[in-house]
A and B are shown apart, each in its own frame.
Chain A
Amino acid sequence: MNEINFTSVKHVADEDGNNVGLVAVHDEKTTSVAMRVGNYMYDEIMRQVAAGTLTIADAD
């Protein structure tokens, strides 16, 4: 069990195609995540990605 159970996590890209954010769906909520180390949700996403249990989808 993870601290947050993500349904999906997706990159958000700027007009130049650079990844500038993450949008996470979890617990029937949607969060636009600040990409900051020390942000508990961003850290949890990165932890789950490193553990191989979560994949971040490409931006639309």
Chain B
Amino acid sequence: MSRARDFANLAGSADVGGITGKNLIINGNMAVAQRGTSVTGVDGGGYETVDRFRTAYNGPPDQLRVTHAQVADAPAGLTNSFKLTVTTEEGTLASDERVRFQQRIEAFNLQHLAFGTSSASPITLSFYVKSSIAGTYGVELNIADASRSAAQSYTISNANTWEKKTLTFAGDTAGAINNDNGEGLQVSWVLAAGTDYTSGTLATAFAATTSANLAPSGQENLIGTDNATWQLTGVQLEVGSTATPFEHESYATTLQKCQRYFYRIGGDFETAATDTQVGRLASGVLSSATASVMMRPNPVTMRDAPNVTFDDAVANYTLMTSRTTNAVTALTGNQSTASTIAFGLTSGATSNDGDGAVLRSTRAQSTISISAEL
């Protein structure tokens, strides 16, 4: 095949999603859920199931309880979606209450948008959405570095039906995004918003953030109905004014992208039948009879030095040396970097300074979460 033909095919491949790296959203097909596939009784914002996506609460709505889940329900060509189910509705929405589902995009990944210059590129967001409550919903973009926002609305025409939505935003010539590892752009789907956010005129083009202009006046209140559901998948944010087909990538590629922000150690165990719940989590050395430092290289360079979370009570982790195995008594300092986690532990006093040690789990939920999320 000629070189000219190769180039022609490459150019044409954009029409079938062939150019890689165009999607600024990570895990837009909701394939990766390292934290787990379902969490019930969620009473606040944060990361729960599918990687890189979180909820954000304002107000907050304090009666609301929801379930987050990665489910095997998606439009043709996709496999998974994120599903939020209202299990305890909020009741009357206060003016300052708002619930959003969002992804915070790292600023390093947005420099080619040239925001803050006369060359700022338009961007197009496309996604599949399905909800038990049809009607008008908002999408908000926020540039934290510049305190500027833009918002548009979309309509779910039919309840419980997958629909594809496309929204194009003009590039922001005034709001620069810093070239760093901080938050560059926040993309939020509004699920409910009080009048503090709906009483103005929707800011369809980027402007200084004004709360009243961030959600459409007819915004549906998803959290006001028990058992209401809202699902999302096939999310793509790309440069330009046209939505192209969703960019499929290998699971391994998406997982690696997600691990820049979060990964979990454990949950997989030794094969010995008598030790089925024991997993080796990290290794290190004792700096005294009771104190040790554990280390482990990160699978990819993380966004920043991460937090280290013991997902189970610390007593359910053990420190094994050549002399003995003792329960961990405390998690102490964090000397982690973007490339390596390093943290301190205290444990029982039957080993010696200088002994090598292995940190182990004692049951399935004794995992360690490493997070450098935005």
Contacts and interface: CB of A to CB of B under 8 A. Distances in A.
Interface of A: 1-5, 12, 14, 20-21, 23, 28-34, 36, 38-42
Given A12-B332, A34-B307, A1 B372 contact: no
Interface in B309-324: 309-314
A31 B307 contact: yes
Given A3-B45, A3-B57, A40-B374, A21 B333 contact: yes
Given A1-B44, A21-B334, A29 B183 contact: no
B108 to A, nearest CB: 13
Nearest to B180: A38
Contacts of A28: 312-313
Contacts of A33: 307, 334
Closest 7 CB pairs of A and B: A32-B334, A31-B309, A34-B305, A21-B333, A12-B333, A32-B308, A30-B310
Contact of A2 (B44, B343, B374): B44
Contact of B182 (A32, A34, A38): A38
A30 B314 contact: yes
A23 B308 CA distance: 9
A23 B46 contact: no
Nearest to A22: B334
Contact of B343 (A3, A4, A32, A42): A32
B305 A23 contact: no
B149 interface: no
B336 A34 contact: yes
Interface in B35-88: 43-46, 57, 60, 62
Interface string B129-160: 00000000000000000000000000000000
B373 interface: yes
Contacts of B336: 34
B63 to A, nearest CB: 10
Contact of A1 (B60, B305, B311): B60
Given A1-B60, A4-B46, A38-B182, A30 B331 contact: yes
A34 B314 contact: no
Contact of A34 (B44, B181, B304, B330): B304
B306 interface: yes
